């Protein structure tokens, strides 16, 4: 794939900003709004922000790690960037759509690439009722919260909560409880990517819950609906030797 107009965006850290200035001088940089590829310099947080900012354009995005985690990033090298972009492999991601209604009746909508997390807001545990495709699968889950993760997000918060790592081609979503109290031994479920998950918060005023889609937070929710929006394609670019599917596989064998 040939790219002629490259834009560089960077995290606010000094290493990322300095790298952006060097690359802008070395390559014919344009603004993100006119680019046919965007190179992100930073970590996974900066990558997620950039994906959200350019949802409507569907422009391919290539990350180079100038941050900490960098799971969605390629190695940082300034030389031969054009060749790397041309040889890069495409990975298509579909975001999750979160539709949340708060206790005061307000409706909120947000997209996420990694996960939707429902989190208790106070000292009292949350009580959740979980339905999948209109059928109640769990009448009451008492917990600190729950996560619905995409394959790309399964190695993030989901993994920290002891959820499964999901390969990109599996067409699955991970539903993972956070510190489940009852049923205590429930470890979650793998759902078809086509599934629509509805979560009803029981006693929402007494046991308030927030819903977080990547970095969009809606507090005091009463009902949340989550599904994968197959009408939206987001394109990430990865070096052939360091593609996302390989990273997800490697993560499962990391001690």
Contacts of 209 (CB under 8 A, 6+ apart): 118, 119, 120, 121, 126, 128, 145, 201, 220, 221
**What Rg value do the Cα atoms of the chain yield, rounded?**
19
H or E segment to which residue 159 belongs: helix 157-160
65 contacts 43 by C-beta, under 8 angstroms: yes
Question: 215 to each of 17, 49, 129, 133, how far by Cα in Å?
Answer: 22, 9, 24, 26
220 annotated active-site: no
Bridge partners of 75?
none
CA-CA distance, 72 to 93, in Å (whole number)?
A: 12
CA-CA distance, 251 to 39, in Å (whole number)?
A: 24
Give the number of other CB atoms < 10 A from CB of residue 114: 25
Which one of 36, 44, 56, 239 is the catalytic residue?
Answer: 44
Q: What residues act catalytically? A: 44
């Amino acid at each position: 794939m040939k790219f002629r107009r490259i834009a560089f965006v960077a995290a606010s850290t000094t290493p990322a900003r300095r790298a952006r200035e060097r690359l802008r001088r070395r390559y014919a940089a344009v603004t993100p709004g006119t680019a046919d590829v965007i190179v992100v310099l930073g970590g996974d947080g900066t990558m997620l922000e950039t994906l959200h900012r350019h949802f409507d354009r569907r422009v391919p995005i290539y990350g180079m790690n100038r941050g900490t985690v960098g799971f969605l990033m390629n190695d940082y090298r300034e030389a031969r960037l054009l060749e790397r972009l041309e040889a890069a492999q495409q990975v298509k991601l579909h975001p999750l759509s979160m539709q949340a209604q708060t206790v005061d009746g307000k409706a909120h909508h947000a997209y996420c690439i990694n996960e939707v997390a429902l989190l208790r807001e106070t000292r009292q545990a949350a009580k959740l009722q979980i339905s999948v495709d209109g059928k109640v699968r769990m009448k009451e889950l008492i917990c600190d919260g729950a996560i619905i993760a995409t394959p790309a997000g399964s190695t993030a918060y989901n993994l920290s909560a002891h959820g499964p790592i999901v390969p990109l081609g599996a067409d699955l979503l991970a539903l993972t409880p956070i510190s489940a109290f009852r049923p205590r031994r429930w470890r979650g479920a793998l759902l078809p990517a086509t599934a629509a998950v509805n979560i009803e918060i029981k006693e929402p005023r007494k046991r308030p819950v927030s819903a977080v889609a990547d970095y969009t937070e809606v507090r005091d929710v009463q009902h949340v609906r989550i599904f994968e929006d197959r009408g939206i394609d987001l394109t990430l670019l990865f070096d052939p030797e360091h593609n996302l599917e390989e990273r997800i596989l490697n993560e499962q064998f990391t001690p």
